[in-house]
Amino acid sequence: MRLDNQEESKNVEDRRGGAVKTGGISIIGLVVAFVAWKFFGADPQQAYQVTKQVTSQQQPQQIQQPTAEQVASKTFVSKVLRSTEEVWTPIFQQHNMTYKTPTLVMYTGATSTACGQGQSAMGPFYCPADQKVYLDTEFFKQMKTQMGMQGGDFAYAYVIAHEVGHHVQTLLGTSSQVSKLRAQSNKVQSNLLSVRQELQADCYAGIWAKQNNDQKQFLQQGDIEKAMDAAQKIGDDYLQHQATGRVVPDSFTHGTSQQRMTWFNRGLQSGNLESCDTFSGSI
C-alpha cells in the first residue's frame, strides 16, 4: 500500500505518552498565592514565586519527546484517516448529505470514552456517543504476533476503515435503528442484527478500498490478500476472548470469516453504498 501521495488528517487525537507537557502553574497554585496575599499579607509577587517553586517541585516540568515509532504510527494513522475522509465526503455529497468527520483517538493501555473506559484488550472500536474511533496501535503488533496474521499496512488500514464504517452507519442512522431493533429482540435475533451491522462495516471498508484506489492508486500487489487474511482472523473470535463488560458494538459477533470476506469484496467490487445492504436478504 502506498501513502506517499496521501495528505494527513487533522482529526487524530494523540493521547499516548509522548509529547505530554506537565508542570507549570496550576489554578490551585494561583489560589494559594491569592489567599496568602489576602489573608496573611504576603506580597503577592513573592507568594506567587513561592507557590511557583512548590508547584514546580511537585510537578517537574517535563516534555517527553515522542518516539520515532510513535511519530511513524501517527503519520500512518493520520494518512489512512484522511483517505477515509476523502472517500466518504463525496459519497455523502452524492446522497445530498454532509459527511461529518470522526476523530481518531490514539492511546495506550486505557482511556476514557463516552462509551465507558476504553482498554487495549478490546481491540480498536468506535464509540457512537462521542463519534470517535479508539485505537491502541499495539493492536497492530498483536495482529501479527498473537493473531497470526500476515499483517502489513493495508491490513492495518482496513481495521481503521472498518471502524470508520461504523461511523458512517451512525451518520446514516443505521446504528440507532439497529440498537432499537436489538432492544426488542431476543438474544439470537439481536446477535444476528449485530452480525449484519458488522458485515456492513466490512462492506464499507471495501468501498473505501475501491474508491481510494480509484483516486490514488494506493493498492499494491498482495494488499487485498492480506486484508482478506485480516478479515478472516479479526472477528470477535479474538475479541470475545477478552474482558467482559464491553459496551461498544464490536463486542458482539462479527460473522464468519467467509461472510466477512464476501462483504468486504462486495464493497470492493462495487464501490457504492447500495451494494452494502446487509439487512435485507440472506448474508
Instruction: Return the SS3 of 118.
Output: strand
Q: Which stretch binds Zn ion (CB under 5 A): 98-106, 153-161, 233-241, 247-255?
A: 247-255
SS3 227: helix
Residue 125 near residue 42, CB atoms below 8 Å = no
CB closer to Zn ion, 19 vs 114 = 114
Site string for Zn ion, 179-208 (x = CB under 5 A): -------------------x--x-------
Q: Cβ 146 to Zn ion, closest distance in Å?
A: 19
Specify the residue, 153 or 198, whose C-beta has the smaller distance to Zn ion: 198
List the x/- string, 140-179, binding to Zn ion by CB under 5 A: ----------------------------------------
Between 3 and 230, whose beta carbon lies closer to Zn ion?
A: 230
> Please, which of residues 201-240 interact with Zn ion by CB under 5 A?
201
Q: Report the length, in residues, of the chain.
A: 283
Residue 215: CA atoms inside 13 Å, Cβ hemisphere, count?
19
| Closest to Zn ion by CB, 70 or 175 | 175
Selected range binding Zn ion among 77-85, 95-103, 226-234, 246-254, rule: CB under 5 A: 246-254
d(CA 17, CA 114): 21
Report in angstroms how near the CB of residue 48 gets to Zn ion at its nearest.
52
- Cβ proximity to Zn ion, 107 vs 158, nearer residue: 158
d(CA 252, CA 247): 9
Provide, rounded to whole angstroms, the least separation between the CB of residue 162 and Zn ion: 6
Nearer to Zn ion, 229 or 236 (CB): 236
For position 250 contacting Zn ion by CB under 5 A, the verdict is yes
For residue 66, what is the DSSP state? P
Q: How far apart are CA 100 and CA 104, in angstroms?
A: 13
Task: Write the CA distances from 63 to 18, 57, 72, integer angstroms.
Answer: 8, 15, 19
Could you give the 3-state DSSP secondary structure of residue 14? Answer: strand
Handedness of CA 179, 181, 184, 187 (dihedral sign): negative
Strands (E), 85-225: 103-106, 110-113, 116-119, 125-127, 132-135
Specify the residue, 229 or 250, whose C-beta has the smaller distance to Zn ion.
250
| Shortest distance, position 249 Cβ to Zn ion, whole Å | 6
Residues in binding contact with Zn ion, number by CB under 5 A: 3
| Residues that bind Zn ion in the complex, under the rule CB under 5 A | 198, 201, 250
